[in-house]
Amino acid sequence: MTTLQTFQNEIDEINHRELAAKKRAHPPPAAADARAPKAKKGDAKVQDKKDVKPQEKGAKHERRDSTVQDKADAADSAEPDDIKDDPGPSIPEVEQAIKDKLLPGAAHDPEEAKNLLAMLLTRRKGELIFRIGARPPRTQLFQNAPLDDAEGWAGPAQTEEQVEVLVGALTQTVEDIGGKACVLVRLSGKHPRASVLLRIPPPNVSLTPEVRCAIVGNVDSGKSTTLGVLTRGGLDDGRGLARVVLFRHKHEIETGRTSSVGMEILGFDTAGHPVLPNSSGTVDPDVLRREKLGWDEISIRSAKIVTFIDLAGHEKYLKTTLYGLTSGAPSCVILMVGANAGVIGMSKEHLAISLALSVPVVVCVTKVDMTPPNVLAETLKQVEKILRSPGCRKVPVLVKSVETAVEVSQVFAKEKICPIFQISNVTGAGLDFVRTFLNLLPSSEDDDEKYDASQPLEFSITDVWSVPYVGTVVNGILNSGTIKTGDAILVGPDEHGQYLPTSVKSMQRKRADVTTAEAGQTVALALKRMRRAAVRKGMVVVHNDKLEVPPKAVRKFEGSVLILYHNTTLQPNYQAMLHCGAVRQTVRIITIDHPQNLLRTGDRATVTFEFIAHPEFVKVGMKLLFREGKTKGLGVITKLL
Q: If we measure between CA atoms, which residue out of 552, 545, 532, 551 comes closest to residue 474?
A: 532
Helix pair angle (110-123, 90-102), 10° resolution? 150
Least confident piece of the model among 19-23, 144-148, 530-534: 19-23
pLDDT at 46 over 50: no
Q: If we measure between CA atoms, which residue out of 436, 90, 17, 84 comes closest to residue 268?
A: 436
Residues 6+ positions from 377 with CB-CB distance below 8 Å: none
pLDDT of residue 15: 82
Contact 41, 118 (CB under 8 A): no
Residues 6+ positions from 124 with CB-CB distance below 8 Å: none
Mean pLDDT rounded to a whole number for the chain: 83
Spatial separation of the C-alpha atoms in residues 490 and 552, rounded to whole Å: 13
Least confident piece of the model among 229-238, 375-384, 440-449: 229-238
Contact 387, 441 (CB under 8 A): no
pLDDT of residue 576: 94
Identify the band that residue 60 occupies on the pLDDT scale cut at 50, 70 and 90. very low
pLDDT of residue 261: 56
Spatial separation of the C-alpha atoms in residues 164 and 542, rounded to whole Å: 54
Distance from the Cα of residue 374 to its chain's centroid: 35
* pTM for the model: 0.85
Cβ-in-10-Å burial (0-12, 13-18, 19+) of 87 comes to exposed
> Which residues is 561 bridged to in the sheet?
605, 635
Least confident piece of the model among 234-238, 284-288, 364-368, 474-478: 284-288
pLDDT at 36 over 50: no
CA distances (Å), origin 497, targets 23, 464, 580: 26, 19, 18
Residue 337: count of CB within 10 angstroms of its CB: 27
Helices then strands, counting H and E runs in the chain, come out as 18, 26
- Greatest mean pLDDT among 20-34, 56-70, 349-363 lies in 349-363
pLDDT of residue 286: 52
Q: Which amino acid is at 323?
A: Y
Tell me the average pLDDT across 267-295: 69
Contact 268, 309 (CB under 8 A): no
Tell me the average pLDDT across 270-293: 65
Tell me the average pLDDT across 296-317: 85
Tell me the average pLDDT across 121-136: 90
Which strands, in side-by-side order, build the sheet including 193-199?
Answer: 127-132, 193-199, 180-187
- Greatest mean pLDDT among 39-43, 242-246, 598-602 lies in 598-602
Contact 561, 605 (CB under 8 A): yes
Distance from the Cα of residue 493 to its chain's centroid: 28
Strand ranges in 203-300 using DSSP code E only, listed in sequence order: 210-217, 262-268, 274-275
Tens of pLDDT, residues 212-232: 999 998 888 888 889 888 888
Helix pair angle (160-176, 110-123), 10° resolution? 70
pLDDT of residue 4: 77
Spatial separation of the C-alpha atoms in residues 23 and 454, rounded to whole Å: 9
Percent of the chain past pLDDT 90, that is, above it, reads: 51
pLDDT at 578 over 80: yes
Identify the band that residue 240 occupies on the pLDDT scale cut at 50, 70 and 90. low
Higher per-residue confidence, 317 vs 72: 317
Rounded to the nearest 5°, which phi and psi values hold at 29?
-60, 170
Higher per-residue confidence, 151 vs 561: 561
With the CA atoms of 381, 382, 387 and 392 taken in that order, what torsion angle do they form, in degrees rounded to the nearest 10?
150
Residue positions counted in the chain: 641
Contact 467, 526 (CB under 8 A): yes
Contact 636, 559 (CB under 8 A): yes
CA distances (Å), origin 368, targets 6, 223, 340, 457: 37, 14, 8, 47
> Which residues is 556 bridged to in the sheet?
610
CA distances (Å), origin 224, targets 214, 277, 422: 12, 17, 16
Higher per-residue confidence, 394 vs 283: 394
Tell me the average pLDDT across 312-319: 74
pLDDT of residue 524: 95
CA distances (Å), origin 50, targets 53, 277, 348: 7, 42, 56
pLDDT of residue 259: 47
Spatial separation of the C-alpha atoms in residues 49 and 109, rounded to whole Å: 13
pLDDT of residue 440: 95
Percent of the chain past pLDDT 70, that is, above it, reads: 83
Tell me the average pLDDT across 88-97: 73
Tens of pLDDT, residues 613-634: 999 999 999 999 998 888 889 9
Tens of pLDDT, residues 289-301: 555 678 888 899 9
Spatial separation of the C-alpha atoms in residues 412 and 404, rounded to whole Å: 11
The domains of the chain, with CATH numbers, are: 4-10+552-640 (2.40.30.10), 38-199 (no CATH), 205-446 (3.40.50.300), 458-543 (2.40.30.10)
